[in-house]
Chains A and B, each alone.
Chain A
């Protein structure tokens, strides 16, 4: 198991290496001269030249890449073209907000998706099933940001239940701490602030969860239907087990494998869905920040964001594979032809 894990971990290195090359190339080769973007069309040639020299853009491209990667491996993603602040710091400050949102969203999506998927499969072709499947289909067809805006219109515009944006009321923001507000507020015992943060997070989390929930529901249903037709389910029923035990112990445990794969993949797409959701809800995370940076062509920041997300994405995929191997006795690490 440990050997398999190490092997898989080592396999990630070339993938991440090529991702970094790809992103670097996109940013440095396809893009126009950043100096004209940052300094404006009319900046003097000397000024532009001085800026390029300062940013190290006059070096050969290979040297630039090596310098950049050397920094990345030491946790330094360069400096922002605009603020000259280190990218690492800018991202670290905003990471907790994004992670908090993504984690809540994936929890909502997984629990609700699995629940509705199982009901749908067990009560196949019933009204509940048709309703769930129709809702799920609309869910995957709806733009995330539109769903977010509809929720704002409804729950903050009309009903005034929750605020329409931000993470927490400014006065309640916990000072210092980890940046994870749910954790920070609970640690200092400020339940009012905790509840306030919860209210702020409700709509963005539901918005972000929506698409993944629909995907997970559909996957759970089809996986459960596959399993419910298997011979061993008939064996379990022939033993005299109650239908709930058949469904949860014998069917769901088997159906879980593809569901876990989908949940893992969804976590990756949640991180990119965060770009849109955070923009809609003015959520001060990496997503909203990277949109600002894209609009003003702040390439070092974008590069950093993409590398971090790709890293998280491949790690999630690895975790899913490992979980898969742990849950399914038929998967043998040693025989894996990797």
Chain B
């Protein structure tokens, strides 16, 4: 109501403190953050212990005992066992590592390439910008999962290729965000002033543009991980992801499909793991967006 009066009333606090306060107040986002931290920790612990040859999971996720196949969830096997007698709980936990690392790696590729392309285009403008954005349009004119599948079809199966495919198809999102942020910042008077006073391009980019595009890119990346996890599972489900015997949620679902009526529990838990993980990143991403962009919070 009294806009002019606001700055005097609100205590001056840093942007980060505001952000934390806002996330702290958003219980769903806060819980999601804790859950994500828990997932990351799980992934790290399983990766480290496996490389050291220590078995921390109740069973070896990749070897099974055919005699123990299709045991419904019970005290020994919380989530039951699969068609090869492998413990599903151990495999679901082990799968966290793959899904999170593929998600993070794919988002990193897209984020770095996309932000650079978008920022360069937005900053220098002209033909270079035009060329970059037209290239992004071409990528956007094919639905992303279909393009990822096409890449995989050509490159062959494997997690490394899945990372590449998922990363490549999401480049345009980051490029567009970065470009519009850079153009908006560039139009500001203080940037014009910095240019007039002879600041180098690099200095302008580092001092003025980078801080401004951080928040939207971070929000996009958080939500991007959730779609990368979904895409990874989809590629795994189509048989384009990991090679056996490694545990990947989408692949586990694909292999359980034949037993959908006889052993439905084999596909409940991997699917639940995907959904909960994606949900956590979505909730946290939404919370982060509200925290970083107060305009979206109004409703």
Query: Do any CB atoms of chain A lie under 8 A from CB atoms of chain B in the complex?
Result: yes
User: Taking beta carbons and an 8 Å cutoff, which residues of A are in contact with B?
Assistant: 14-16, 18-19, 22-23, 26-27, 30-32, 124, 137-138, 140-146, 149-150, 152-153, 157, 164, 222, 225, 268-269, 271-273, 275-276, 279-280, 290-291, 293-295, 297, 299, 302, 305-306, 309-310, 313-314, 317
- Of B1-9, B66-74, B209-217, B237-245, the stretch lying at the interface with chain A is B237-245
Q: 8 Å CB contacts to A: which residues of B133-164?
A: 134-135, 137-139, 141-147, 149-156
Given A146-B274, A279-B238, do A137 and B155 touch, yes or no (CB 8 Å)?
no
* Interface pair B261/A22, CB less than 8 Å apart: no
Neighbour of B146 across the interface among A27, A150, A275, CB < 8 A:
A275
- Some 28 contacts from A to B, beta carbons below 8 A apart, are A15-B138, A16-B141, A22-B139, A23-B142, A27-B153, A30-B151, A30-B155, A31-B155, A141-B276, A141-B278, A142-B271, A142-B275, A143-B230, A143-B275, A146-B271, A146-B274, A146-B275, A149-B271, A153-B264, A157-B261, A225-B299, A272-B144, A272-B146, A279-B237, A294-B238, A302-B150, A306-B142, A306-B147
- A-chain residues with CB within 8 Å of residue B150 when the two chains form the complex: 23, 26-27, 302, 306
* Interface pair A149/B250, CB less than 8 Å apart: no
Bound state CA distance, A328 and B137, in angstroms? 25
Given A26-B154, A31-B155, A149-B271, do A294 and B142 touch, yes or no (CB 8 Å)?
no
- B-chain residues with CB within 8 Å of residue A153 when the two chains form the complex: 260-261, 264
Bound state CA distance, A163 and B235, in angstroms? 26
User: Taking beta carbons and an 8 Å cutoff, which residues of B are in contact with A?
Assistant: 134-135, 137-139, 141-147, 149-156, 226, 230, 233-234, 237-240, 250, 253, 257, 260-261, 264, 267, 271, 274-276, 278-279, 282-283, 299
* Interface pair B253/A313, CB less than 8 Å apart: no
* Interface pair A141/B261, CB less than 8 Å apart: no
Closest to B231 in A: A143
Given A19-B142, A271-B143, A294-B153, do A138 and B299 touch, yes or no (CB 8 Å)?
no
Q: How far is the CB of B251 from chain A (nearest CB, A)?
A: 12
Bound state CA distance, A291 and B239, in angstroms? 9
Closest to B147 in A: A306
* Interface pair B261/A268, CB less than 8 Å apart: no
Bound state CA distance, A293 and B152, in angstroms? 12
11 further A-B contacts with Cβ under 8 Å, apart from A143-B274, A269-B143, are A27-B150, A137-B283, A138-B275, A140-B282, A146-B253, A164-B260, A272-B145, A273-B145, A294-B153, A297-B153, A306-B142
